[in-house]
């Protein structure tokens, strides 16, 4: 029996829908394509539909909903649960995380995947390629990787590529790469779609099982799906499966990544008797904003054709500011935001600043810092792409999968152990070679349910084998010793992870508080903390605090092998972790237009509206321009209340100051639909004041010397004060030889992990309870 509250939530949601939306929600039995314009209540329809289907008797676990971004999946889940708690049991994931879920569930030795396989990101893959083709330069490898990825998006395996294919020239390299990738036991992004699809095609039993398992499949942002994803969808869908996809051809902005709008166009051909419902009423933006958006997008040829119809009350017309340079651009933004907050008492978080390329966020950040405006940058300097984070992740990955060559090469000489390129080569060729002499299969031939995790051979035996191998390699004694120590560290941590109690050392781990302690311990043992700490002092960087952030992120994961696997999976798939300044919730959002898909803001400022910046026109075809135009359309339709656009006359671009032309998109907007404020006079310069004060940032840490006596200093129940988080109490201490790691629960309810002396400089002891 569902609780009354849920019933009424759903009922309320149903009554708030318009006719088309209600039709879409209650539609069943035939496949359904929903064509929904921006702001037409797409997410509302999908989430209500999930709740509705459950209400009508569909078992929640039988519902699969896929999206393209983690943010969207997250949002969908929360909203569906709000309407019906039972939908917590539904599978709501991104396409890629569904693929990972599938592969882990149907893991088998025959796939050549390691049990705890990890996901190589682009740069990992390029590293792998360079080990396949050592003499090829980076740029060529990058392009090669791009094309291999496209081939995977198009659902093409090396052996499928015929002489007349556009991919024929990369056939052999692709083959070699794929074999090498299988040898590492890991996967790339493309494999996350490709391998499950192949698995289903080749294993009728699994296909039957999974088609039976999911009886409803919902897909959001369908316009961004590629051929391989469509192929996967076909495999997942049986005749009796109810399939419903939602998309908007005008918002297709991922063609460069292999997305194919043909999926929408041919939907009715592939899925027979499919119905189509159009949602054209826009509930998000003012009429003035929609007029601008419509007048831009209508310049595209080859649309399915639909126009957003406004429902919101009138507001002011969008305004275009023309400024002298990028400094003035930033100042214009700051003045818009701060006057509005003063006069209308709006919040920083109402505002989003949109740009075409991540690099454009830099200018804005420095100006915001100087003006004291809180902001968060989504994406840009990807957290997980930072050197110290990648190092740590590589080490953790290696604990799970010894065959991970890319991670091994990355980490074996960090901190510097005197192992250079030549020795690395020798080590990898011996250590990473696959145990059996069987030629690796590119394609998984047979998968079975991963129910019994066959207890692998004894860990100590494995270590013995590795040590024996090392002893035979022709490298210096010093390197041998270092490598041995390295692997002993790995195996030691592996044992801790598996909670093999046989190790009686001075360790008293409580196996609590999630994965954080394990991550902290791994960073200590690997000496990465020590190393990056020293680097911080030399380079005046903040690597250590990033490492701490990584440790803290692990707190919600289970302290187990599975916990580590999911933690690493999240880090590879959830790439848009935001970097917040001032630790404030009320902050302006800085984001690329691609990143805003599915989001909405009260106030939107689109920056850099200049030719070659937006649209970017480097060897671009009409098709590319049309995609840029759709991007502009997405940008405009993010705004609820007000839309601002900024264009500058002069911009630092590609290393030099260049004179810019107004974006062609500006000329496409009919004149009376927007207001122009041109501030680009020569005297605009006189107002300019540069703030290039290098000493603006206080030193983050005044580091204590003396590495001893941490045991007695940091004890359970000690009350501490941190500049950043306020007052807190030490809730847990864990010891490993000389090292101590402890957890602080702050009054703000935030939990943080500390590993003295590295990150305790800003922590003061207030009192000890004794």
Partner DNA sequence: CCCGTCGTTATTTTT
Partner DNA sequence: TAACGACGGG
Selected binder of DNA within 138, 500, 691, 711 (CB under 7 A):
138
| Interface characters, 236-255, with DNA (x: CB under 7 A) | -----------------xx-
Number of chain residues interacting with DNA (CB under 7 A): 46
Residue 233 tokens, joined: 């969808």
CB of 28 to DNA, least distance (A): 29
CB of 537 to DNA, least distance (A): 13
According to the binding rule CB under 7 A, does residue 110 interact with DNA? no
Does residue 251 have an active-site annotation? Answer: yes
**Spatial CA neighbour of 133 closest among 179, 181, 186, 173:** 173
Determine the distance from the C-alpha atom of residue 748 to the mean position of all C-alpha atoms in its chain, rounded to a whole number.
27
Does residue 248 have an active-site annotation? Answer: no
Residue 142 tokens, joined: 């990058």
Residue 381 tokens, joined: 């300097």
According to the binding rule CB under 7 A, does residue 94 interact with DNA? yes
CA dist., res. 551 & res. 626, Å (int)? 43
Instruction: Spell 733-763 as b/e; 16+ CB within 10 A means b.
Output: bbebeebbbbbbebeeebbbbbbbbbbbbeb
Q: Hunting for tokens 């069987």 — which residue is that? A: 438
Selected binder of DNA within 359, 505, 510, 737 (CB under 7 A):
359
According to the binding rule CB under 7 A, does residue 299 interact with DNA? no
Rounding to the nearest 10 degrees, give the CA dihedral for residues 597, 599, 605, 610.
Answer: 0
CA dist., res. 385 & res. 566, Å (int)? 18
Report the length, in residues, of the chain. Answer: 770
According to the binding rule CB under 7 A, does residue 682 interact with DNA? no
Tell me which DSSP letter residue 239 carries: T
| Interface characters, 422-451, with DNA (x: CB under 7 A) | xx----------------------------
**Spatial CA neighbour of 360 closest among 165, 193, 109, 591:** 591
The two beta strands, 675-678 and 375-377, are unpaired
CA dist., res. 474 & res. 469, Å (int)? 10
Contacting DNA within 139-168 (CB under 7 A): 139
- Closer to DNA by Cβ: residue 66 or 217: 66
Which is catalytic among the residues 48, 211, 241, 251? Answer: 251
- Closer to DNA by Cβ: residue 253 or 604: 253
| HEC string for 650-685 | EEEECCEEEECCECHHHHHCCHHHCEEEECCCHHHH
Does residue 154 have an active-site annotation? Answer: no
Cα–Cα distances in angstroms (integers) from residue 407 to residues 123, 200, 213, in the given order: 11, 30, 36
Which is catalytic among the residues 71, 638, 640, 664? Answer: 638
Which is catalytic among the residues 121, 191, 220, 350? Answer: 220
- Closer to DNA by Cβ: residue 97 or 741: 97
Selected binder of DNA within 39, 196, 514, 595 (CB under 7 A):
595
CA dist., res. 607 & res. 386, Å (int)? 26
Other residues' Cβ atoms within 10 Å of the Cβ of residue 145: 22
Q: Do the beta carbons of residue 44 and residue 34 sit within 8 Å? A: no
CA dist., res. 360 & res. 652, Å (int)? 10
Tell me which DSSP letter residue 121 carries: -
Selected binder of DNA within 204, 372, 655, 698 (CB under 7 A):
655
Cα–Cα distances in angstroms (integers) from residue 43 to residues 78, 97, 537, 540, 648, in the given order: 11, 19, 48, 45, 36
Does residue 357 have an active-site annotation? Answer: no
CA dist., res. 574 & res. 204, Å (int)? 32
- Closer to DNA by Cβ: residue 344 or 692: 692
| Only segment of 132-140, 313-321, 401-409, 701-709 that touches DNA (CB under 7 A) | 132-140
CB of 111 to DNA, least distance (A): 20
Contacts of 554 (CB under 8 A, 6+ apart): 514, 515, 516, 518, 519, 567
Q: Do the beta carbons of residue 644 and residue 390 sit within 8 Å? A: no
Does residue 549 have an active-site annotation? Answer: no
| Only segment of 156-164, 328-336, 568-576, 659-667 that touches DNA (CB under 7 A) | 568-576
- Closer to DNA by Cβ: residue 153 or 350: 153
Q: Do the beta carbons of residue 701 and residue 540 sit within 8 Å? A: no
Selected binder of DNA within 446, 624, 668, 750 (CB under 7 A):
624
Angle between helix axes 516-525 and 543-553 (nearest 10 degrees) is 140
Q: DSSP per residue over 136-163, as a string?
A: S-HHHHHHHHHHHHHHHHTT--GGG--T
According to the binding rule CB under 7 A, does residue 689 interact with DNA? no
According to the binding rule CB under 7 A, does residue 370 interact with DNA? no
Selected binder of DNA within 371, 459, 599, 652 (CB under 7 A):
652
Selected binder of DNA within 656, 671, 705, 749 (CB under 7 A):
656
- Closer to DNA by Cβ: residue 286 or 663: 663
- Closer to DNA by Cβ: residue 157 or 652: 652
Contacting DNA within 29-68 (CB under 7 A): 68
| Only segment of 102-110, 316-324, 412-420, 541-549 that touches DNA (CB under 7 A) | 412-420
| Only segment of 16-24, 300-308, 570-578, 717-725 that touches DNA (CB under 7 A) | 570-578
Does residue 405 have an active-site annotation? Answer: no
Contacting DNA within 70-89 (CB under 7 A): 70
Selected binder of DNA within 173, 358, 607, 741 (CB under 7 A):
358
- Closer to DNA by Cβ: residue 356 or 642: 356
- Closer to DNA by Cβ: residue 349 or 413: 413
Residue 611 tokens, joined: 């030719």
Active site residues: 42-43, 220-221, 251, 638
Interface residues with DNA (CB under 7 A)? 68-70, 94-97, 121-122, 137-139, 189, 253-254, 256-257, 356-359, 379, 413, 416-423, 573, 575-576, 592, 594-595, 616, 618, 620, 624, 652-656
């Amino acid at each position: 029996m569902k609780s009354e509250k849920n019933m009424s939530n759903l009922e309320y949601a149903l009554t708030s829908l318009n006719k088309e939306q209600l039709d879409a929600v209650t539609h069943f039995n035939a496949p359904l394509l929903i064509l929904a314009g921006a702001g037409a209540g797409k997410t509302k329809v999908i989430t209500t539909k999930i709740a509705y289907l459950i209400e009508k008797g569909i078992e929640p676990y039988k519902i699969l909903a896929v999206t393209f971004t983690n943010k969207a999946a997250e949002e969908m889940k929360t909203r569906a649960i709000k309407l019906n708690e039972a939908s917590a049991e539904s599978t709501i994931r991104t396409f890629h995380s569904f693929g990972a879920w599938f592969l882990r569930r149907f893991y088998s030795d025959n796939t050549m995947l390691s049990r705890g396989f990890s996901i190589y990101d682009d740069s990992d893959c390029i590293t792998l390629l360079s080990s396949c083709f050592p003499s090829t330069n980076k740029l060529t490898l990058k392009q090669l990787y791009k094309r291999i990825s496209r081939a995977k998006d198009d659902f093409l395996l090396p052996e499928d590529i015929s002489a007349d294919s556009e991919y024929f020239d990369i056939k052999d390299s692709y083959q070699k790469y794929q074999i090498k990738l299988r040898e590492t036991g890991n996967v790339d992004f493309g494999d996350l779609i490709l391998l499950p699809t192949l698995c289903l095609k080749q294993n009728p039993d699994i296909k039957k099982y999974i088609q039976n398992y999911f009886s409803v499949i919902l897909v959001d942002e369908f316009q961004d799906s590629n051929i391989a994803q469509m192929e996967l969808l076909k495999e997942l869908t049986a005749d009796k499966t109810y399939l419903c996809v939602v998309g908007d051809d005008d918002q297709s902005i991922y063609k460069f990544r292999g997305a194919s709008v043909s999926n929408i166009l041919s939907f009715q051909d592939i899925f027979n008797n499919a119905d189509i419902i159009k949602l054209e009423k826009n509930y998000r933006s003012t009429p003035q904003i929609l007029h601008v958006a419509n007048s831009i997008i209508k310049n595209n040829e080859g649309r399915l054709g639909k126009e957003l119809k406004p429902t919101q009350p009138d507001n002011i017309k969008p305004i275009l500011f023309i400024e002298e340079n990028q400094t003035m651009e930033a100042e214009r933004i700051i003045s818009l935001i701060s006057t509005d907050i003063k006069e209308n008492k709006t919040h920083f978080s109402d505002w989003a600043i949109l740009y075409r390329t991540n690099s454009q966020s830099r200018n804005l950040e420095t100006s915001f810092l100087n003006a004291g405006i809180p902001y968060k940058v989504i994406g840009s300097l990807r957290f997980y792409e930072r050197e110290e984070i990648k190092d740590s992740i590589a080490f953790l990955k290696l604990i799970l999968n010894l065959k991970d060559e890319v991670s091994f090469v990355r980490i074996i000489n960090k901190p510097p152990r005197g192992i250079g390129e030549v020795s690395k080569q020798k080590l990898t060729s011996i250590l990473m070679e696959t145990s059996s002499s069987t030629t690796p299969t590119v394609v998984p031939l047979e998968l079975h349910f991963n129910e019994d995790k066959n207890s692998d051979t004894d860990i100590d035996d494995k270590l013995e084998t590795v040590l024996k191998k090392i002893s035979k390699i022709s490298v210096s004694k010093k390197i041998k010793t270092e490598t041995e120590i390295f692997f002993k560290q790995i195996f030691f941590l592996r044992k801790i992870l598996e909670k093999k109690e046989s190790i009686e050392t001075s360790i008293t781990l409580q196996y609590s508080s999630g994965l954080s302690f394990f991550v902290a311990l791994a960073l200590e043992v690997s000496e990465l903390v020590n190393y990056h700490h020293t680097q911080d002092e030399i380079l005046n960087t903040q690597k250590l605090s990033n490492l701490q952030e990584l440790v803290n992120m692990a707190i919600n994961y289970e302290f187990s092998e599975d916990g580590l696997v999911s933690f690493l999976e999240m880090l590879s798939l959830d790439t848009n972790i935001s970097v917040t300044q001032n630790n404030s919730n009320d902050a302006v959002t800085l984001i690329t237009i691609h990143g805003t898909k599915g989001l909405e803001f009260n106030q939107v400022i689109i920056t850099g509206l200049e030719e070659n910046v937006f649209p970017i026109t480097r060897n671009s075809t009409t098709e590319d321009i049309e995609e840029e135009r759709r991007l502009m359309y997405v940008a405009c339709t993010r705004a609820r209340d007000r839309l601002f656009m900024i264009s500058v006359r002069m911009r630092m671009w590609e290393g030099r100051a260049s004179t810019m032309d107004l974006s062609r998109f500006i000329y496409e907007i009919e004149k009376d639909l927007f207001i122009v404020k041109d501030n680009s006079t020569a005297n605009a310069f006189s107002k300019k004041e540069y703030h290039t004060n290098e000493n603006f940032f206080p030193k983050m840490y005044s580091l204590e010397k003396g590495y001893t006596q941490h045991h007695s200093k940091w004890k359970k129940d000690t009350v501490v004060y941190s500049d950043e988080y306020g007052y807190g109490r030490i809730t847990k201490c864990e010891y490993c030889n000389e090292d101590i790691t402890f957890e602080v629960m702050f009054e703000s309810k935030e939990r943080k992990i500390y590993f003295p002396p590295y990150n305790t400089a800003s922590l003061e002891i207030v009192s000890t309870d004794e």
